[in-house]
């Protein structure tokens, strides 16, 4: 394992070293200590490596992640795993606003709570939150999955397209065009797979409700003008 101390090494140097990694690297395990809330830690990584960040981070940690497995042993500021492409990002604490925004693939696991706009404009990413999420989460979510074991704030799924939302707790309110949907056998199977992938056991899929688009806002209709 290669250990980088951000109290002694410039963040730019760390990220440049991570960007040099590729498939078959002999430096497959990395540890970052003393992140001290730094912004943009481990952004743009494109290699099948494992990165453990020992402490909390600021904005955009693991943004644009591809292939790497990144674990933040602490909390994360706004935009963690923004535009993630593949791999896995795990936050052992809480995440601030727009976690997983515009994510196109991979898995984001937040073991604490996530603030507002979690999964905004998600485009294929899978997000699992063990705690609760804030308002306007999954706003304009196009595809992928958002699983919440706690509660959801106001306007969940506002202007949603085809993303699937599973919430175990209460939903304060649903956004425009977002409705509760039936949980059929295939959805229980899908949810069970997502929970297993996130390392969560002992939770019954029957405890969740499913939400998605009513498909009334795909094209403009004057009868629905008030909903836009």
Dihedral of the alpha carbons of 94, 97, 102, 108, in degrees to the nearest 10? 0
Q: Which residues of the chain have pLDDT under 50?
A: none
Domain that holds residue 101: 2-223
Any domain includes 89? yes
What is the reported pLDDT for 9?
98
Any domain includes 125? yes
CATH number at residue 140: 2.160.20.60
**pLDDT, tens only, 117-175:** 999 999 999 999 999 999 999 999 999 999 999 999 999 999 999 999 999 999 999 99
Provide the domain count of the chain: 1
What is the reported pLDDT for 24?
87
Any domain includes 180? yes
Any domain includes 228? no
What is the reported pLDDT for 187?
98
Cα separation, 169 vs 133, in Å, equals: 10
Any domain includes 187? yes
Cα separation, 7 vs 5, in Å, equals: 5
Residue 52, both tokens? 């453990």
What is the reported pLDDT for 79?
98
What is the reported pLDDT for 227?
64
Phi, psi (deg, nearest 5) at residue 197: -65, -30
Phi, psi (deg, nearest 5) at residue 186: -65, -30
């Amino acid at each position: 394992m290669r250990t980088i101390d951000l109290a002694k090494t410039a963040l730019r140097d760390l990220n440049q070293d991570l960007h040099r990694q590729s498939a078959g690297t002999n430096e497959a395990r990395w540890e970052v200590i003393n992140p001290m809330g730094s912004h943009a830690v481990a952004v743009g990584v494109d290699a099948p490596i494992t990165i453990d960040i020992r402490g909390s981070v600021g904005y955009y940690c693991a943004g644009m992640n591809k292939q790497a497995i990144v674990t933040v042993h602490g909390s994360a500021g706004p935009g963690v795993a923004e535009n993630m492409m593949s791999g896995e990002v795990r936050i052992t604490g809480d995440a601030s606003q727009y976690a997983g925004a515009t994510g196109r693939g991979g898995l984001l696991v937040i073991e604490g709570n996530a603030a507002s706009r979690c999964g905004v404009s998600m485009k294929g990413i899978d997000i699992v939150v063990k705690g609760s999420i804030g308002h306007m989460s999954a706003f304009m979510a196009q595809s992928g999955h958002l699983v919440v074991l706690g509660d959801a704030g106001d306007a969940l799924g506002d202007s949603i397209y085809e993303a699937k939302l599973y919430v175990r707790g209460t939903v304060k309110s649903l956004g425009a065009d977002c409705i509760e949907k039936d949980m059929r056998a295939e959805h229980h199977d899908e949810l069970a797979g997502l929970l297993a992938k996130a390392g969560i056991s002992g939770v019954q899929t029957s405890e969740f409700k499913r939400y998605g688009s009513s498909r009334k806002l795909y094209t403009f209709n004057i009868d629905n003008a008030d909903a836009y």
